[in-house]
Structure 1
Amino acid sequence: MRFPIVGSEKAVSIGQPKDRWTMLFVYRGKHCPRCKRFLNKLNAALPAWSDLLDVVVVSADTEDKAIMDKAEFSWKFDLAYGMSEAQMRSLGLYVSSPLSEAETTGLFAEPGAFAIRPNGTLMLVDISNGPAARPDLEELFDGMRFNIDNDRPERGTA
């Protein structure tokens, strides 16, 4: 799975081997104020997160919408865009239709967080069917540091 990054010629690949862990956060898009609050908290804690793993944030938004968000909020993380419905569904995300054109114009993913090992496999997944349920970033960071430092296995595989 590949996503283009705002302001970069590169795209980020998810699920492919690399030298570091990756934390992929899926947000609903430009239309979601709760997403902005969550991502602003992530951005404030980004130095610690970046020391531990790569952070990528993605939505189904167009490049133009993603550029506007990055400019408005001065986010420092890699902001990807253009997530397709097939990609949303392959990650097991909840997919929503807009309530009106004032909200947005196409399908979008509800929030998700995915911790991905350097070998490209999932270690931890947190998904929601609406904007109000999200992981606590401090707890998630602490848990990920423990999981990485202790090479913990993924759970929920029984």
Structure 2
Amino acid sequence: MTPSFATCDLCDAHKNEVPERFRVLPPVFKDFGARRVFCGLVVTVKCFEDNTLVKAAVESDGFDETPAGRIGKVLVVDGAGSLRRALLGGNLGAAAARNGWAGVVIDGCVRDVAELAALDVGIRALASMPMPTERKNLGLRDLAVQIQGVWVHPGDWLYADADGIVVSATRLF
């Protein structure tokens, strides 16, 4: 099911909220997945040129079962804006789609762009880079991360569409 929201409408409704409650990510992310509109509960990973924790995350369930139904998750990866190594490629993108992730937002790069474009998952990243990471089992999970100068916390809600990406401390619909 495609979520029904517009980030412009969310900004209109929440533009006067304090930054701790509602934030907008800078317009530097490119679309790489087939799902252009996505939202969900945020899970965070912080890593630098090592996608060990990204792999572990996308290979796990990308949703929570609640009394109100299934809630998709969005993996937000603080890759420190590195343009030297790709943190997600075709295999990990396929794992994210297969495991029900609503989306992945990476402050860094992806690779296997043609493969990612065919996957039913939202994928946003800074750029494509064919160089893979080296897995050294480094990084942190489930902590507040700073993405392009904007704080994103585990348990926040992320909404992405053609106009941009917004993050809220609470579910907006």
Query: TM-score per shorter chain, which class?
Result: 0.3 to 0.5
Q: Which has the higher contact order (CA 8 A, sep 6+)?
A: 2
TM-score with structure 1 length normalisation?
0.37
Question: Which has more strand, going by share of residues?
Answer: 2
Question: Which has more helix, going by share of residues?
Answer: 1
